[in-house]
Amino acid sequence: MPRLYINLRLLEKNTKEVLSLCSKHNVELIGVTKVSLGDPQVAQCIRNAGVNIIGESRVENIKRMVKSGINRPFMMLRIPAISQLEEIVDLCDYILVSELKTVEAIEEICKNAGKSVNLIYMVDVGDLREGVWYKQAEEEICKAVKICKTSRIIGVGTNLGCYGGILPTNENMAKLVYIRDKIEQRTNTHLPIVSGGNTAALRLLEHSDLPEGVNQYRVGEAIMLGTDVTNNRKIDWLEQKTVVLEAEVIEMKTKPSVPEGQSGLDAFGRQPVFVDKGLRKRAILALGEQDTVPKHLKPLDKNAEVIHASSDHTIVDITEVQRQINVGDTMKFTLSYAALLRAMTCPHVEKIYRGE
Ligand SMILES: *Cc1c(COP(=O)(O)O)cnc(C)c1O
């Protein structure tokens, strides 16, 4: 079975570093566990590092954590499905929202149950994922503030760099603060939270370029992987070998680099591209698209290259690798966010914790 080595000590170290940067700029840090399938040990690391609120996108992941003794407070990051609202209100202290209909349903649940929950209304400042478009935000969020009597709108938030790949900047963050200020004036209500960022927005803190008023970040990728995929960078003050994937070599042969015969599509309907490099030494790993995103793996062996994969086989060109690799040996890789997400989710990948 492929193995995922999760280094808890390095995860805690990354969390502490991100927390320290956020604190320096008076930004509260929410630790996001969703890429780990709500792994309780990952959540514990985040808590050990001094972060209080755990951010999650799925009810099932929160239940998994609660079962293992990770307790509130939780923030629901994905705008909630109405069909799951009862559970979400029950489990979470903070919910990101973007629909008046959902806010009404939350208010109804809170009123009936006699409990309160904190809502952060999402504003779309350009990325085109969730949130009310910024030009209509003031109008819509003022209505939401009026709907909430038992529940409470505590602020506004935005998410960038996830769908449209739009980068967080001083300008789009400032829009969020401006909108908050306008709603406060119009409703005469205090909205203390401006939840501006994720991993992609850490750069603004590094360059002290975050506008005054943004005071909360929700961060997952930087903690888990030390990377920032939106800005296409390794975060050099964080650890990258937090999680390493290991797989076993099941075939080791020298073959041509271009297939022979009439060409169709591969097992996933893709048209593979081949470069003729002559005869190459290739390892086949007991690992595939079901376990991870093979193309997003970075071999720890220098000069090894993942060439292609199907559901259960990954082919790695190891012609230029120094060490001798035989059938039965293993190869190790670091992972992208997408590759980690799939590996954490796959029941056929064993999770091994290190540095406890
Ligand atoms: C996933 C998510 C985050 C965390 O994003 P990272 O890029 O992993 O830091 C923050 N906010 C929302 C709404 C999310 O869905």
State which of 37, 62, 162 you would mutate to test the pocket of ligand 1, scoring each by most atoms of that ligand within 8 A of its C-beta: 162
Q: Quick one: pLDDT at residue 52?
A: 98
Distance from the alpha carbon of residue 32 to the mean position of ligand 1, in angstroms: 7
Among candidate residues 16, 34, 143, 298, the one labeled active-site is 34
CA distance 26 to 207: 15
Residue 200 CA: nearest ligand 1 atom is 7
Give yes or no: 143 in active site. Answer: no
Q: Which two tokens stand for residue 54?
A: 């755990």
CA distance 255 to 182: 66
Fold of 8-230: TIM Barrel (3.20.20)
DSSP string, 91-143: H-SEEEE--HHHHHHHHHHHHHHT---EEEEEEESSS-SSSEEHHHHHHHHHH
Distance from the alpha carbon of residue 229 to the mean position of ligand 1, in angstroms: 12
253, 301, 324, 352 from 328: Cα distances, Å:
13, 16, 12, 20
83's CB contacts (< 8 A; 6+ apart) are none
Distance from the alpha carbon of residue 167 to the mean position of ligand 1, in angstroms: 14
Distance from the alpha carbon of residue 219 to the mean position of ligand 1, in angstroms: 6
The long-range contacts involving 236-243, CB below 8 angstroms and separated by at least 24 positions, are: 237/17, 238/14, 238/17, 238/18, 239/7, 239/10, 239/13, 239/14, 240/334, 241/7, 241/10, 241/334, 242/6, 242/7, 242/10, 242/11, 242/14, 243/4, 243/5, 243/6, 243/7, 243/334, 243/335, 243/340
- Looking at the chain, which residues constitute the CATH 3.20.20.10 domain(s)? 8-230
Q: Quick one: pLDDT at residue 269?
A: 87
4, 205, 288, 304, 329 from 325: Cα distances, Å:
20, 44, 19, 11, 6
The model's pLDDT over 142-186, given as tens digits with 9 standing for 90+, comes to 999 999 999 999 999 999 988 888 999 999 999 999 999 999 999
For 77, phi then psi, to 5°, come to -85, -40
Q: Quick one: pLDDT at residue 270?
A: 86
Cβ-contact 159, 196 below 8 angstroms: no
Q: Which residue's CA lies nearest to atom 7 of ligand 1?
A: 199
- 322: number of Cβ within 10 Å: 10
> Is residue 34 lining ligand 1, measured as CB closer than 6 Å?
yes
Angle CA 293–296–301, to nearest 5 = 115
> Is residue 218 lining ligand 1, measured as CB closer than 6 Å?
yes
CA distance 250 to 284: 6
In CATH terms, the superfamily for domain 243-354 is Lyase, Ornithine Decarboxylase; Chain A, domain 1 (2.40.37.10)
Task: Provide the residue-wise pLDDT of the chain in tens; the chain has 356 residues.
Answer: 999 999 999 999 999 999 999 999 999 999 999 999 999 999 999 999 999 999 999 999 999 999 999 999 999 999 999 999 999 999 999 999 999 999 999 999 999 999 999 999 999 999 999 999 999 999 999 999 999 999 999 999 999 988 888 999 999 999 999 999 999 999 999 999 999 989 999 999 999 999 999 999 999 999 999 999 999 999 999 999 999 999 999 999 999 999 999 988 888 888 888 889 999 999 999 999 999 999 999 999 999 999 999 999 999 999 999 999 999 999 999 999 999 999 999 999 999 999 87
Cβ-contact 11, 224 below 8 angstroms: yes
Alpha helix (H) residue ranges in the chain:
8-24, 40-48, 59-67, 85-91, 100-113, 134-147, 170-187, 202-206, 221-225, 337-345
State which of 28, 159, 202 you would mutate to test the pocket of ligand 1, scoring each by most atoms of that ligand within 8 A of its C-beta: 159
Distance from the alpha carbon of residue 142 to the mean position of ligand 1, in angstroms: 25
Q: Which residue's CA lies nearest to atom 13 of ligand 1?
A: 77
- Looking at the chain, which residues constitute the CATH 2.40.37.10 domain(s)? 243-354
Q: Which residue's CA lies nearest to atom 14 of ligand 1?
A: 77
Distance from the alpha carbon of residue 103 to the mean position of ligand 1, in angstroms: 21
Cβ-contact 91, 127 below 8 angstroms: no
> Is residue 123 lining ligand 1, measured as CB closer than 6 Å?
no
- pTM (two decimals): 0.95
> Is residue 77 lining ligand 1, measured as CB closer than 6 Å?
yes
Q: Which residue's CA lies nearest to atom 15 of ligand 1?
A: 77
